[in-house]
Amino acid sequence: MNYQETLTYLYESVPMFQQIGGAAYKEGLENSLILNAHSGHPNQHYHTIHIAGTNGKGSCSHTLAAILQAAGYKVGLYTSPHLVDFRERIRVNGVPVSEEYVVEYVARERSFFEPLRPSFFELTTDMAFRYFAYQKVDIAVIEVGMGGRLDCTNLIHPLLSIITNISLDHTQYLGDTLAKIAVEKAGIIKERVPVVIGETTPETKEVFRLTAEAKQAPIVYAEAYNDNPYPELEVELQGLYQEKNTRTLLAALSVLKSPVIETKLIIPEVAVRDGFAHVCELTGLMGRWQRLQEHPTLVCDTGHNIGGITYIVEQLRRQTYRRLHVVIGMVNDKDIRGVLALLPHEADYYFTRASVKRAMSETELAGLAAEAGLQGNCYPAVPAAVRAALQKSLPEDFIFVGGSSFVVADLLAHRDALNLH
């Protein structure tokens, strides 16, 4: 099989949460432990940092990887989901895993893993851990897929754990309260391994405190971290929520350079500044308040739950424009009514659906939006919706595209055809 045939095999042969949602979710680590043992525990050959959280974990993962890369380390980065190409999930010093490695891994291992019937994410995680060992990375930044306690990345014993925040998302799998979700996220806290908590509420803070205490894990709350040793720090990622991500990362850096870390890292100031200022170039990050065009301005963002959309709406309020146009699509397992209730009424809406099975139809979304006082037209695909917004906009208008990572993925995949530059 070539690369495209291999991807088709993976997408069709193993359950993929990105495409089908809950049917692909496998609770527990049994398959992951079997795959990891078969692979010779590759994650034990390099240091790791583990990052969980409802929102911000992708931005934090990429930025931390960029900083470590700028500091001279060979850095693996494992994130999900991908936006345009599967290979985005597995990177070394910003370079995606090769097509050849993906093809060879599947060809070599399918006779072993097919009887196991692993999920797509279980298989991808094993591939990433193996690739990082093959590449002889110094350290790998590992983003949790969902939750933490039972996430298949939770095999690692990291130098540091980071939990960015907790908000209501994936409640059907992680629990219907912030405290229940916090218990799942706190599952990445390991014995005597320091943990940085980005944001808390009274109910989540108690969960983190008790878990860290039981594990004898030093705990640092970024909210209480007021020291900024990098004055006038230039931060490339401009989403409003990046302010809290930056504080979380500064707290994490202080821990990584402190005596509580098993292996102290050397991270000079110039590397910190370079990583924050050039994270997209260094790691290939996309979709975080990403500006694709001026006149009219077009911005996309992968925020897709109430926590993420709250920040996006506030950021939209801070923009200057003649008219706001919102291209939006969502998947059907989110709190869609909760998100729609946050969106501004004074905007033209373009309801659409992403090219994944989980996507809600544009007509159903428009119906729910009308109940929330939002009016607009329906488009069966993201490129058509964006093209319509561009045609109806004047140069001083603002177009926002989002509601789902998959809407952003479809936009970026058709960027050239839409002549966005």
Domain assignment present for 420: no
- Alpha carbons 409 and 407: distance in angstroms, whole number: 5
- Alpha carbons 363 and 366: distance in angstroms, whole number: 5
Q: Are residues 252 and 298 in the same domain?
A: no
Domain assignment present for 130: yes
Flag whether the pTM goes above 0.85.
Answer: yes
Average pLDDT over every residue of 329-348? 92
| Confidence at residue 169, expressed as pLDDT on a 0 to 100 scale | 54
Domain assignment present for 421: no
Domain assignment present for 59: yes
Query: Could you list the residue range(s) of the whole structural domain that residue 60 is in?
Result: 3-283
Domain assignment present for 168: yes
62 CB burial (10 A radius; 0-12, 13-18, 19+): buried
Q: Is the pLDDT of residue 20 over 50?
A: no
pLDDT tier at 110 (50, 70, 90 boundaries)? very high
Average pLDDT over every residue of 117-144? 96
Q: Are strands 297-300 and 290-293 parallel, antiparallel or unpaired?
A: antiparallel
Choose the final residue of a domain: 239, 266, 283.
Answer: 283
Over the stretch 256-282, which tens digit does the pLDDT of each residue have?
A: 999 888 788 999 999 999 999 999 999
Q: Are residues 273 and 310 in the same domain?
A: no
Choose the final residue of a domain: 283, 315, 345.
Answer: 283
The answer to whether 372 touches 347, Cβ cutoff 8 Å, is no
Domain assignment present for 419: no
- Assign 81 to helix, strand or coil: coil
CATH code at position 381: 3.90.190.20
Q: Are residues 226 and 166 in the same domain?
A: yes
| Confidence at residue 168, expressed as pLDDT on a 0 to 100 scale | 61
Cβ neighbours, 10 Å, residue 259: 6
Average pLDDT over every residue of 405-415? 95
Over the stretch 149-208, which tens digit does the pLDDT of each residue have?
A: 889 999 999 999 999 998 765 455 565 688 888 998 999 999 999 999 999 989 899 999
Average pLDDT over every residue of 397-401? 98
Centroid of chain to Cα 286: 10
Domain count, the chain: 2
Q: Are residues 165 and 46 in the same domain?
A: yes
Q: Are residues 339 and 398 in the same domain?
A: yes
Domain assignment present for 175: yes
Over the stretch 52-107, which tens digit does the pLDDT of each residue have?
A: 998 889 999 999 999 999 999 999 999 998 999 999 999 999 999 999 999 999 99
Cβ neighbours, 10 Å, residue 320: 7
Q: Are residues 344 and 267 in the same domain?
A: no
Domain assignment present for 329: yes
Choose the final residue of a domain: 228, 254, 283.
Answer: 283
- Alpha carbons 384 and 293: distance in angstroms, whole number: 17
- Alpha carbons 341 and 345: distance in angstroms, whole number: 9
- Alpha carbons 199 and 319: distance in angstroms, whole number: 26
Average pLDDT over every residue of 134-149? 94
